Each structure stands twice: as structure tokens, then as C-alpha cells.
């Protein structure tokens, strides 16, 4: 399953919703609570998960610019939002097709009180994150970036081959995802560093997926994805890797698997 397929984004949305750091989301809500309206730009919006989760916490009148390079995902937003946005608020959104590797500065210059990103930063490069921080500084854009994978994975029950798969997967995370060499697990730390260097006040906190036995569908897709990434790295014995996948999927199907995936949320405000 592709990391950007709508069906994958649907599968992960409940886990994402639970994982987002509640204190940071409350801080975002507090920052805008005296306003009656807000404009938000969501970069790499997928099918609009951030709109659905954040809208209830923002002012009564909202305009969202939902930016993604994938027209199929943008086309899926309407159906995913139907009946899932608060009716007590006036929420307008527009799909904005754009590639934020080439067009970041153009998109960041469009009017916005808040720029959000979710499950996105780890795809990007060090140079792109510096561009992001620079553009946020130039236009005084608060940044709320959630669910950036930070390299931590914990499996229960433990398996002797876990650490080798984990190392291969994290190495795979650094492959080019359209932004040059990706920072993967180091991306959140790099954005924090870049924003701090631009005098932003930066808050960050963990936002881990904690997947229990009742989430067999998501767990199984993760195991398959980790297996696929590790095999593409071509550093592990194929038989050992396939046996690891079988053992892991058996545990998932038996409802015995517990998986934690580490993420970081960031909330950053320009001070100037």
C-alpha cells in the first residue's frame, strides 16, 4: 500500500487523531481563541485529516487552503469531510494543487494566520526545512506540524530480528521522497533548530501511535511496509526477513501485538 494512498490515510486517521499531542493542540486553540475568523494553509494535506481534527478547536469562521500535489487525494476531501465538520462553525475550504518542493515560497506567501503540516516533515530534506523556516519568518506564519516520525518503534512481544528491521527501515526513511535526501527521523529536530534560529518560540512534544490488539488492520499494514522497506535496503538476509514478517503477522492476527511508533508535534510562533 502506498504511503500516500487514500486508503492508507483512512486507515491511519484514527491512530493519528489519538496520537496528536493534546497539550500542543490546546496551545494552538488558546493562541487563536480571541479571534472570530482564521485562515489556515495545510501543506501536504492528503484527504484533509488536519482540517477534520483541528477545525473544532479554531475560531467560528475558518478558511482552509488545502495544498497537495496529488489531485486524487484533493478530490477525495469532499467525501471525507461530508458530515464530519462541526456544524456550529462556518468552515470553507479550497483544494490547492501545488508541489511544495518547487512552490513552497509561493504557497507560504498566500495569506494565512496558521500553517499546518501533518505526517509530512519526515519526507523532506534539511534544505527544504530551512526554506520552510525562512518563509515562515518572512511572512510571520505560526507553524503547527504534527506526527513527524522520530525514529522510535517498540514492538511487543519482542522479536530477536526487530532491531535489524528497525535499522534498515530508518535507513530507508532517508531516501529521496521528492525533496532530495529525506531527513526521516531527524526532520523534527531539524525544523525545531531552524525555527529557533529564526527566533521562533518553539514547543514540541511526543505524539506516539500506541496500537493495541484491536488495530490489526493498521498493524498488519505497518509490518508489511517495514518488511518492504527493509527488503529494498537489501542489507538483511531475505529468509530471516520473511520469517520475521510471518512471526509479526501471526502476532497481529492473534491480537497479541502492541506497537508504539514515535512521533513529534511542533507548535512554533514567530516572536518578531
For residue 215, the minimal CB distance to ligand SAM (Å) is 17
For residue 122, the minimal CB distance to ligand SAM (Å) is 9
Measured distance CA(212)–CA(254) in Å, rounded: 12
Q: Please, is 62 exposed, middle or buried when counting C-beta atoms within 10 Å of its C-beta (0-12, 13-18, 19+)?
A: buried
Helix (H) or strand (E) holding 269: strand 258-270
Pick the binder of ligand SAM from 100, 143, 191, 251 (CB under 6 A): 100
Measured distance CA(116)–CA(267) in Å, rounded: 9
Measured distance CA(145)–CA(188) in Å, rounded: 9
Omega prior to 157 cis, within 30 of 0: yes
The residues in 13-52 that bind ligand SAM, with binding defined as CB under 6 A, are 44-46, 49-50
C-alpha cell at 34: 480571541
Q: Is 68 in the site for ligand SAM (CB under 6 A)?
A: yes
- C-beta of 177 vs 241, nearer to ligand SAM: 177
- C-beta of 123 vs 133, nearer to ligand SAM: 123
Measured distance CA(12)–CA(8) in Å, rounded: 6
Q: Is 101 in the site for ligand SAM (CB under 6 A)?
A: yes
- C-beta of 101 vs 134, nearer to ligand SAM: 101
Backbone angles phi, psi at 62, to 5 degrees: -130, 140
Q: Is 86 in the site for ligand SAM (CB under 6 A)?
A: no
C-alpha cell at 206: 511526543
- C-beta of 64 vs 161, nearer to ligand SAM: 64
Pick the binder of ligand SAM from 7, 84, 92, 99 (CB under 6 A): 99
- C-beta of 113 vs 265, nearer to ligand SAM: 265
C-alpha cell at 144: 503547527
Measured distance CA(65)–CA(215) in Å, rounded: 32
For residue 128, the minimal CB distance to ligand SAM (Å) is 9
For residue 149, the minimal CB distance to ligand SAM (Å) is 10
Q: Is 150 in the site for ligand SAM (CB under 6 A)?
A: no
- Give the DSSP letter of residue 98: -
- C-beta of 43 vs 252, nearer to ligand SAM: 43
Helix (H) or strand (E) holding 249: helix 238-253
* Bridge partners, residue 261, by sequence: 153, 209
Pick the binder of ligand SAM from 178, 213, 225, 270 (CB under 6 A): 178
Integer-rounded Cα Rg, in Å, for the chain is 19
Q: Is 112 in the site for ligand SAM (CB under 6 A)?
A: no
Q: Which residue is nearest to ligand SAM (CB)?
A: 46
The interface region with ligand SAM, picked from 62-70, 148-156, 181-189, 209-217 by CB under 6 A, is 62-70
Q: What residue ranges bind ligand SAM (CB under 6 A)?
A: 3-4, 9, 44-46, 49-50, 68-70, 73, 99-101, 118-120, 123, 178
Amino acid at each position: 500500500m502506498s504511503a500516500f494512498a487514500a486508503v492508507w490515510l483512512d486507515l491511519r486517521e484514527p491512530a493519528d487523531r489519538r496520537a496528536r499531542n493534546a497539550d500542543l493542540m490546546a496551545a494552538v486553540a488558546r493562541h487563536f481563541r480571541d479571534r472570530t475568523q482564521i485562515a489556515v494553509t495545510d501543506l501536504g494535506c492528503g484527504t484533509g485529516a488536519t482540517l477534520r481534527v483541528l477545525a473544532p478547536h479554531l475560531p467560528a469562521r475558518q478558511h482552509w487552503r488545502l495544498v497537495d500535489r496529488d489531485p486524487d487525494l484533493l478530490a477525495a476531501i469532499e467525501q471525507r469531510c461530508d458530515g464530519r465538520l462541526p456544524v456550529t462553525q462556518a468552515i470553507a475550504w479550497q483544494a490547492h494543487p501545488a508541489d511544495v518542493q518547487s512552490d513552497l515560497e509561493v504557497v507560504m506567501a498566500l495569506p494565512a494566520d496558521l500553517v499546518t503540516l501533518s505526517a509530512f516533515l519526515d519526507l523532506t530534506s534539511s534544505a527544504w526545512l530551512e526554506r520552510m523556516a525562512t518563509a515562515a519568518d518572512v511572512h510571520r506564519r505560526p507553524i503547527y506540524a504534527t506526527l513527524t516520525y522520530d525514529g522510535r518503534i517498540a514492538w511487543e512481544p519482542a522479536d530477536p530480528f526487530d532491531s535489524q528491521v528497525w535499522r534498515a527501515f530508518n535507513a530507508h526513511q532517508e531516501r529521496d521522497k521528492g525533496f532530495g535526501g529525506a531527513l526521516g527521523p531527524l526532520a523534527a529536530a531539524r525544523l525545531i533548530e531552524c525555527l529557533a534560529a529564526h527566533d521562533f518560540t518553539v514547543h514540541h512534544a511526543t505524539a506516539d501511535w500506541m496500537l493495541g490488539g484491536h488495530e490489526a488492520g493498521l498493524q498488519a499494514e505497518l509490518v508489511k511496509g517495514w518488511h518492504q522497506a527493509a527488503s529494498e535496503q537489501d542489507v538483511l538476509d531475505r529468509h530471516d526477513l520473511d520469517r520475521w514478517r510471518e512471526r509479526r503477522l501471526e502476532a497481529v492476527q492473534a491480537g497479541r501485538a502492541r506497537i508504539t511508533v514515535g512521533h513529534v508535534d511542533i507548535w512554533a510562533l514567530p516572536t518578531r
